[in-house]
Structure 1
Amino acid sequence: MTVQVNPEIANSIAAGAIRTNYHDQGEGAPVVLIHGSGPGVSAWANWRLNIGPLARAKRVIAPDMVGFGFTDRPEGVTYGKDLWVKHLADLLDALGIEQTDLVGNSFGGGLAIAFAIRYPQRVRRMILMGSVGVSFPLTDGLDAVWGYQPSIGNMRKLLDIFAYDRTLVNDELAELRYKASVRPGFQESFSSMFPAPRQAGIDALASDESEIAKLVQPALLIHGREDKVIPAEASRRLFELLPNAELHMFGKCGHWTQIEHTERFNMLVADFLRD
């Protein structure tokens, strides 16, 4: 009898009071990958095509942030930027990591910025992909993502929003991601994170622009030109604010840069993080 192993479940550690599921591959200087905030998301679902290639030269750590994936969902907790930033700090403490590079996808980019503002000495470099972190008008795409109600049809609509390349989207993937979104506790925590009016969720994840402008760490900004979830203008604004920033824009690309342009994304990240 073959036992099916879920690749989303990896290592477990207590980060503060939160039992945390995280992937840990490779050796060398650490880089932490912070996933986005789609329904049913996990670190593995987000970064499965990137962890292995990046781990050839780095120690790659990809956690499920509190409330997501297979990390704890504490009862009565209020989800928000402060909780997620503290969770990340507690995880680094638990792993004995004093300083790291950060790669943040969308929601994860906003957390990376907030973490760097609060703990500037702990962040060496940042890569922000389709990132939030500054305020912008709520898009129809993000409203649909955060307002997701579980069904295969609704998941298929979201996948169409995420990807510019429709060949990446099929009924099998929609069913797979739908099943992930309705695992016990997943939708309950997700639906509590970004309630309407969802503009407030964008603003809550944003950091003060004057504080962003003080960040001196080298930063690489990556965005899909046709992103319907987070507008490309958000990365352009971050590029204006961050003093040591580079901006790479992919044409014919939606919100899934790391999936739609996997090889180029991995090359860009590996080159930027090369010692």
Structure 2
Amino acid sequence: MNKLNPEVGKNVVVNGLRTNVHDVGAGSPVVLIHGSGPGVTAWANWRLVIPELAKGRRVIAPDMVGFGYTDRPSSITYNLETWLTHIVGLLDTLEIASADIIGNSFGGALALALAIRHPERVNRLVLMGSVGVPFEITEGLDAVWGYEPSIHNMRRIMDFFAFNEGLVNDDLAELRYRASMQTGVQDAFAAMFPAPRQRWVDALASADEDIRMLKHSTLILHGRDDRVIPLATSLRLNELICDSQLHVFGRCGHWTQIEHANRFTQIVDLFLAEDRRMDYFAIE
């Protein structure tokens, strides 16, 4: 991690793309795939949980192509295939045969598709506020993907993310606005999800029959009060994935890993433990 900018980790070349990766800890690998908010980075998304998860395993959190401090080639087409190729390439570059995968929102759709198309690369699966099944696009997600740079618009988007209004203030909005205004960031972001945006929800969805075929042990997490990705998506994933369990956080929006960081980490840590127990009564 760069002491001057904690969002900058290690520089790894993946399929010719300079990829910003946070690679910390030792042991069984777990890969964290971030969401798709404007100006997002892996560190911004996972900063509260990386240190705890890294106490007992190797945590790998990349900026996906087009996001953060990873390359944004002008010639690239942003779609599910592009991002899947990038994550598989990262595993190959780091010589990781298989890993536990945690996906947040957009990252959940990638994690789900990775488990379907490359099942041998995924051990256990954690889906948090996940895209990946069809739903009618929400006002919140349409605002996120339709972001046009301004501090006012960034503040409006962040208000959609959090249930706890105290987590969002003008200083944080300005910080994320500045991140969204780095050279090339907004151009790449605007190319990912142009209107009409319902088609991108559909494009990131996996087929029901493919999801039903999954053999992976899966933990599904969602904020009950999520205004970006509806809780119904996780209920559907829980219905489709045979070996799955669902935990719903009350008084929680789309920022499960931020609004309930300690409990999120405890639940995930237990799920990824070797005995695979989910003893909620043991959580304090």
TM-score, normalised on structure 2? 0.95
What does 1:89-168 correspond to in 2, within 5 Å? 89-168=88-167
Deviation above 4 Å: which 4+ runs of structure 1? none
Counterpart CA distance in 2 for 1:222 and 1:4 is 32
User: Aligned letter for 1:197?
Assistant: P
Counterpart CA distance in 1 for 2:210 and 2:241 is 10
Which residue is equivalent to 1:171?
170
User: Aligned letter for 1:7?
Assistant: P
Counterpart CA distance in 2 for 1:183 and 1:75 is 15
Does 2:13 match 1:26? no
Q: What are the superposed Cα offsets for residues 174-229 of structure 1, whole Å, 9 maximum, x if unpaired?
A: 10010011111110000110111100010010011100111110000000001000
SS of 1:259's partner is helix
Identity rate, percent: 58
What does 1:71-82 correspond to in 2, within 5 Å? 71-82=70-81
Structure 2 unmatched ranges of 5 or more: 275-284
Which residue is equivalent to 1:242?
241
Counterpart CA distance in 2 for 1:32 and 1:243 is 22
SS of 1:223's partner is strand
SS of 1:53's partner is helix
Which residue is equivalent to 1:219?
218
Q: What are the superposed Cα offsets for residues 64-104 of structure 1, whole Å, 9 maximum, x if unpaired?
A: 00000000011211000000000000000000000000000
Which residue is equivalent to 2:208?
209
Structure 1 unmatched ranges of 5 or more: none
SS of 1:74's partner is coil
Counterpart CA distance in 1 for 2:70 and 2:3 is 20
Counterpart CA distance in 1 for 2:178 and 2:74 is 23
Counterpart CA distance in 2 for 1:165 and 1:75 is 38
Task: Report deviation, 1:17.
Answer: 1.6
Cα RMSD between the aligned structures? 0.9
User: Aligned letter for 1:132?
Assistant: V
Task: Report deviation, 1:18.
Answer: 1.1
Task: Report deviation, 1:172.
Answer: 0.6
Task: Report deviation, 1:4.
Answer: 6.7
Counterpart CA distance in 1 for 2:220 and 2:183 is 35
Residues 1:274 and 1:188: Cα distance change in structure 2 (over 3 Å) = same
TM-score, normalised on structure 1? 0.98
User: Aligned letter for 1:91?
Assistant: L
Task: Report deviation, 1:161.
Answer: 0.5
SS of 1:133's partner is coil
Counterpart CA distance in 2 for 1:158 and 1:203 is 22
Task: Report deviation, 1:129.
Answer: 0.2
Which residue is equivalent to 2:232?
233
Counterpart CA distance in 2 for 1:176 and 1:42 is 12
Counterpart CA distance in 2 for 1:187 and 1:70 is 13
Task: Report deviation, 1:16.
Answer: 1.0
Counterpart CA distance in 2 for 1:253 and 1:175 is 23
Counterpart CA distance in 2 for 1:115 and 1:262 is 25
Counterpart CA distance in 1 for 2:174 and 2:121 is 39
Counterpart CA distance in 1 for 2:243 and 2:14 is 31
